Amino acid sequence: MDNTRNRKLGNRYLILTLLILLFIGCKEEPKTKLVEEELAAVEIPKELYEFGFKLNDFVVKRDTIKKGDSFGEILERNRIGYPKIFHIAEKAKDSFDIRRLQIGKPYTLLCSKDSLELPKCFIYQPNLEEYVVINFHDSIHTYTSRKPIKYVEKIATGIINNNISQTLEEQGLSQRLAYKMADEIYAWTIDFRRLQKGDRFKVIYTDKYIDDTIYTGVHNIKAAFFEHNSEPFYAFEFETDSVKGIVDYFNDEAKNLRRAFLKAPVKFKRISSRYNLKRRIAVYGYKVRPHKGTDFAAAIGTPIMATANGTVTESKRRGGNGNYVKIRHNATYETQYLHMSKRKAKVGQFVKQGDVIGWVGMTGNTGGPHVCYRFWKNGRQVDPFKQKLPEAKPISDSLKVKYLDFIKPIKTQLDAIPFEESKSEETLNNNLVTLNH
């Protein structure tokens, strides 16, 4: 009896154990925990191009020419041997004189992307636009090129409270606009020293950029409107001679706004001594020492401009005149520019009004930096400020119709610009004009 009971209990325990094991086996398997791995963002290097090269392919080293630097010394410092330097210089000399490297000018070395970082190319920038490439990566070749230039058309308006310079400055605009309007466009029609409060202007002009980022200033004024003493003055730029590249400003009736001569050969001028045939000077015992020129004081290096179109007849250094240039404009008029630090114009060269012919200096007999401007009429030196100077060449009848058609849409655009005292500048119609040189 007891044995039978024990067997039954044993079976029950066995069944219970099996049921427990079956229950455990049927339980839901624990879910696998998913670990999200954060992917690291890999930034792909932006492809950079300059001077016609992909800069990512090189180690780029930039510097400026220092005192004592030469082409050979720069390469030698960067582990190029003199035999190879001599070979490069010989190959390059027909295209570029390596002795012309100027202190302060930037240069770039494109070097190999390895532990040696040996130069493969030398690039020299004589100015913001031009660059000279001496490439000796495989074969040796030298050439001069220019950076891409972009011209951006903009507008500006203003209402005069004091003077035009202050009006432009308050709006963060270039003072070059003031100079161009006062001395290049309206010099003979509006006296900018006597502007009235409430006079107002609007102008369409072009800014110049190199490589999209380097701002080099106002390139030109396309059209302007100036209201002075309630009288309107329009001005439109128009090329009258495509061969010589002569550009003038005319009003809305095709009348030339300029005179044949600029009022002065330098910008931002101050007259330090006028034409005076009875001048007496203390250092000469107050004897009469006629002064047959007009002295415009300016800092050394200030550009000196031809005051009218003409042909250079003299460009030399002589006695008290120092460095000077003389220009014949026609059968009646000649001008002369004395005491230059350096001359640019050459004998026989045709120069246009506003072209730079040299730079202010102190050569010859002079007590300070200035340009002595001399003016001849029929072979006799006269005071240019007392002459009834001729107007600039009028537009020809054949061009007048073309001009009036040309300015019609520009005048419409100019008239549509509202006067806003706080207005500074804006891009017109997102017009970006890029010229590659």
Q: Locate 411 and state its tokens.
A: 């005048």
CB of 335 within 8 A of CB of 304?
no
What's the token pair of residue 12? 């029950």
Which H or E element spans position 89? helix 82-92
Please tell me whether residues 248 and 290 are part of one structural domain.
Answer: no
Q: Is residue 120 part of a domain?
A: yes
Q: What is the pLDDT of residue 285?
A: 54
Sign of CA dihedral 128, 134, 138, 141: positive
Structure token pair of residue 106: 């930037």
Only one residue has tokens 């009288």, namely: 231
Residue 29 lies in a domain: no
- Within-domain flag for 42: no
Report helix, strand and coil shares of the chain as percent, to nearest 5: 20, 35, 40
The predicted pLDDT at position 273 comes to 77
Give the 3-state secondary structure of residue 133: strand
240 and 200 in a common domain: yes
140 and 108 housed in the same domain: yes
Mapping DSSP to helix (H, G, I), strand (E, B) and coil, where does residue 174 land? Answer: coil
- Supply 256's token pair: 């030339």
For the stretch 83-92, pLDDT in tens is 999 999 999 9
Residues 131 and 159 in one domain: no
Q: How far are the Cα atoms of 150, 281, 403, 415 from residue 238, in angstroms, in the given order?
A: 21, 47, 7, 18
Same structural domain for residues 287 and 381?
yes
Are 155 and 224 members of one domain?
yes
Band (2; pLDDT cuts 50, 70, 90): low
Share of the chain above pLDDT 70, in %: 82
CA 324 – CA 431 distance, rounded (Å): 43
pLDDT-derived band of residue 33, with 50, 70 and 90 as boundaries? very low
Residue where a domain stops, chosen among 112, 146, 180: 146
- pLDDT score for 243: 80
Residue 14 lies in a domain: no
Read off φ and ψ for residue 183, nearest 5 degrees: -105, -20
> By residue range, what is the domain housing residue 134?
49-146
146-192 per-position pLDDT tens digit: 999 999 999 999 999 888 888 888 888 888 888 888 878 888 788 88
**93 or 245, which is more confident?**
93
Whether 398 is in a domain gets the answer yes
User: Which tokens go with 7?
Assistant: 């067997």
Contact 413, 204 (CB under 8 A): yes
- Residue identified by tokens 């007392």 is 386
Are residues 72 and 92 both part of a single domain? yes
60-69, 105-114, 125-134, 256-265: segment of lowest average pLDDT = 256-265
Give the count of beta carbons closer than 10 Å to the beta carbon of residue 249: 22
What is the token pair recorded at 376?
Answer: 């001849």
In a shared domain, residues 278 and 342: yes
Q: Could you tell me how many helices (H) and strands (E) the chain has, helices first?
A: 6, 25
Mean pLDDT value of segment 302-327: 94
pLDDT tens string 90-124 = 999 889 999 989 999 999 999 999 999 999 999 99
For 301, the token pair is 């290096």
Number of C-beta neighbours around residue 72 at 10 A: 15
The Cα 71–Cα 206 span in angstroms is 38
pTM above 0.85, yes or no: no
pLDDT for residue 278? 60
160 and 179, same domain (yes or no): yes
Q: What DSSP state is assigned to residue 365?
A: S
Q: How many residues does the chain have?
A: 437
Asked whether residue 12 carries a pLDDT value surpassing 70, the answer given is no
- Find out whether 216 and 128 touch, Cβ atoms under 8 Å: yes
Pairing of strands 294-297, 303-305: unpaired
pLDDT in tens, 324-375: 999 999 889 999 999 999 999 999 999 988 899 999 999 998 888 999 999 9
**Running DSSP on this structure, what letter comes out for residue 391?**
B
Domain count, the chain: 3
- Pairing, β 303-305 against β 356-360: antiparallel
Strands 53-54 and 49-50, by their bridges, are antiparallel
Same structural domain, 139 and 220: no
Q: Which residue has the higher pLDDT, 274 or 379?
A: 379
Q: Is residue 38 part of a domain?
A: no
The secondary structure of residue 364, as a DSSP letter, is S
Radius of gyration of the chain (CA): 38
Q: Is 17 part of any domain?
A: no
Residue 29 has pLDDT above 80, yes or no: no
- Residue 316 pLDDT greater than 60, yes or no: yes
AA letter at 151? Y
Provide the CATH number for the domain around residue 285. 2.70.70.10
Based on the fold, state whether residues 308 and 373 are members of the same structural domain: yes
Q: Per the domain annotation, does 30 fall within a domain?
A: no
Name the domain boundary from 81, 116, 146: 146
Please determine, for residue 61, whether its predicted confidence score (pLDDT) is greater than 90.
Answer: yes
Q: CATH no. for residue 408?
A: 3.10.450.350
Residues linked to residue 370 through DSSP beta bridges, in sequence order = 297, 361
**Pair (378, 405) in one structural domain:** no
Of 85, 118, 146, at which residue does a domain stop?
146
| Whether the predicted pLDDT of 248 surpasses 60 | yes
